[in-house]
């Protein structure tokens, strides 16, 4: 299992590494969704003035405008739905990561928050927590394994057990 880039521990570590970016995405997504909603309000809901026989109205150019407005509304609605889905998924993942971190023992929690939430490299985190670099890496690795088990359950536990048995 060692070296496999798709294992649960690696996924958990990648998610932890991206926590800052996930939070920035959520912060920006609210403004982006508001902007899309504002643009949606500015696109008129086009109603054709044509009857079934096409005789009512002011000519053929009206339908082109109606279709363009309808396509624009569809595009904006699609963007809004996609952004809302991404926001929901990201918020859910971030919440799970936060909850998993809160379950850690104090030392592991402190090291993980220093390294992943605050973006401080292990080389500096060791000084903050008054430990050797090797110990800091070990504590961080143990915490990531526990977070992986919290996020992915039995699949992660199997990988961790078998990876340790092989080492």
pLDDT in tens, 18-44: 999 999 999 999 999 999 998 888 877
Output Rg (C-alpha) for the chain, integer angstroms.
Answer: 26
Distances (CA, A) of 37 to 8, 31, 42, 91, 130: 38, 10, 9, 20, 50
- Within-domain flag for 155: yes
- Within-domain flag for 2: no
- Within-domain flag for 3: no
Q: Is the pLDDT higher at 50 or at 10?
A: 10
Q: Is 147 helix (H, G, I), strand (E, B) or coil?
A: helix
pLDDT, average across residues 68-79: 88
What pLDDT, on a 0 to 100 scale, did the predictor assign at position 154? 82
- Within-domain flag for 122: yes
Q: Structural domain of residue 12, as residue ranges?
A: 8-166
**Total of domains in the chain:** 1
- Within-domain flag for 47: yes
Q: pTM for the full model?
A: 0.73
- Burial degree of 127 (CB within 10 A; 0-12, 13-18, 19+): exposed
Degrees, nearest 5: CA angle 30-31-36: 100
- Within-domain flag for 38: yes
- Within-domain flag for 103: yes
DSSP letter, residue 49: -
Q: What is the tens place of the pLDDT at every residue in 131-158?
A: 999 999 999 999 999 999 999 988 788 7
- Within-domain flag for 1: no
């Amino acid at each position: 299992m060692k070296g496999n880039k798709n294992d649960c521990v690696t996924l958990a570590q990648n998610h932890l590494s991206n926590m800052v970016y996930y939070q920035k995405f959520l912060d920006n997504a609210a403004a982006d969704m508001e902007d899309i909603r504002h643009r949606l309000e500015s696109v008129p809901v086009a109603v054709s003035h044509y009857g079934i026989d096409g005789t009512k109205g002011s000519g053929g150019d009206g339908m082109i405008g109606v279709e363009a407005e309808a396509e624009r509304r569809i595009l904006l609605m699609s963007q809004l739905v996609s952004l809302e889905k991404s926001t929901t998924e990201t918020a859910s993942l971030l919440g799970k990561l936060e909850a998993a971190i809160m379950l850690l023992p104090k030392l592991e929690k402190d090291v993980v928050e220093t390294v992943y939430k605050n973006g401080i490299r292990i080389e500096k985190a060791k000084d903050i927590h008054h430990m050797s670099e090797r110990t800091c890496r070990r504590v961080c690795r143990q915490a990531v394994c526990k977070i992986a088990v919290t996020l992915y359950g039995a699949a992660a536990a199997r990988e961790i057990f078998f990876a340790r048995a092989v080492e």
